[in-house]
Amino acid sequence: MAIVAELLRAEENGAISFGNHTLAQKTKVEDFAHAGDLYKVKTFNEITKLEKNGMFLYESVPGTSVVDFKETDKGVEFVVEGAEDAQLTIGLKEDTEYEVYVADNNIGKMHTGFGGKLSLSAELANAGEVTVKVVQSV
């Protein structure tokens, strides 16, 4: 997977790609317009954080590179890469249950609380890229 050199970009399929886990110093892009929304990304090797319209959407510790981040009313889907295992936090609907898939493996159901945040671990060390899919349970 290629590093997102421009830090935040729109893809032809309507998704966005963001982050650069290889940077030594924190870098950001603000007021990136895409599909009627404004995005902001802060990224470097220690953390990657994405906001949409001033609201939390994604964070990883340590930093990651994310491609094809697709957000729907039922969840999110993306491909993530990092130099080492990462803790991912995703902003979703409050008080909602989701099925979570990492590297095409169902890791079970998770529930968001009042803030709508869902946290999971992704084993990225020596893995290259890993797919993550979070879908609202029926």
Query: Where along the chain do its domains lie?
Result: 8-136
Query: Within 10 A of 31 (CB to CB), how many other CB atoms are there?
Result: 7
pLDDT tens-digit map of 4-38: 888 999 999 999 999 999 999 999 999 999 999 99
pLDDT band at 135 (very low <50, low <70, confident <90, very high): very high
Give the CATH architecture of domain 8-136.
Sandwich (2.60)
Tell me: pLDDT of 44 over 70: yes
Contact, 41 vs 50, CB < 8 A?
Answer: yes
How many CA atoms lie less than 13 Å away from 128 in the CB half-sphere? 3
Tokens, residue 57: 């959407």
Q: Tell me the whole-structure pTM to 2 decimals.
A: 0.95
